[in-house]
Amino acid sequence: MTTSNLHRQPAPPLYERIKGTLREGILSGHYAPASLLPSEAALGEQFNASRITVRQALADLQNEGLIFRRHGKGTFVSQPKAFQNVTALQGFAEAMSAQGHAIRNRVLTLRTVPAPTDVAQALQLAPGTAVVELHRVRLLDQLPVSLEVTWLPEALGSIVARADLVTRDVFLVLEQDAGVALGHATLAIDAALADHATATALDNTGAGAALLRVERLTHDAQGAPIDFERLYFRGDAFQYRLRLDRQVASHAQSILPLQSTV
């Protein structure tokens, strides 16, 4: 037996090859967003595969969010997800507009309420202190992608309440109208399921649909908390991206050379 035979890797299953070819075609733009993929029968003929094998490949691509199916119409290429980098403190419209997206907001409620315990704690206020609560749906290219719930101390909230909240980010209102210098924000990101109210606000999202939930507490340049938010993004339409650099701790021990005992 030759060395080359010893190290030869088995060929991947046929459905993996079909999936890889289709994925490459989707990511390269050969299959454009919203375009109709070839039928299962056509793919079976193209790859000399059974319909079961083709369906397995398509099921994996659907699980990855690259395609979706419409009953009686076929399989279509998904629209690419919009994304926001979290390496800088930016409002949603600020970040999306820079990528060429059109942003509008649908204001659901704007009111003054007693601060719930968790909100008061985040904003370093006494429980029950009056805060301004804002609920908005963010529309990306006319598609509702997130529900944003914001709490602000009353003094700042009253300024935000007078602004055009249909087109402007709260961050820009705080900077431009209230004269607040923003400093930093802390984020907590996890998964959630849409309840009935959130599903209704996001239109086509059904109750129980997967959401990306972001809790963000923004501080001014002096470090005081001024803006507490809970953001609920549609998992099928949006993602956060960030870059992580490797940092070696300065106090890490050096590797000592081995000493001979001979």
Domain limit, last residue, from 50, 77, 104: 77
CA distance linking residue 132 with residue 147, whole number of Å: 17
Query: How many angstroms from the chain centroid is the CA of residue 254?
Result: 40
Note if the pTM is more than 0.85: no
Q: Where are the alpha helices (DSSP H) in the chain?
A: 3-6, 14-28, 40-47, 51-63, 92-98, 117-122, 154-161, 170-176, 196-201
Q: Could you read off the pLDDT of 161-181 as tens digits, one per residue?
A: 999 999 999 999 999 999 999
In the prediction, which pLDDT does 262 show? 31
Instruction: Give the CATH number, domain containing residue 112.
Output: 3.40.1410.10
CA–CA dist 96, 4 (Å, integer)? 51
Do residues 217 and 156 share a domain?
yes
Mean pLDDT within 93-109: 81
Domain hosting 104: range is 82-241
Same domain, 36 and 107: no
Average pLDDT, the chain: 85
| Residue 42, domain CATH | 1.10.10.10
Question: Per-residue pLDDT averaged across 180-207, rounded?
Answer: 87
Predicted confidence at residue 49, as pLDDT, reads 94
What is the count of structural domains for the chain?
2
191 found inside a domain: yes
Q: Of 27, 55, 77, which residue constitutes the final position of a domain?
A: 77
Band of pLDDT at residue 67, cut at 50, 70 and 90: confident
More confident residue, 253 or 220: 220
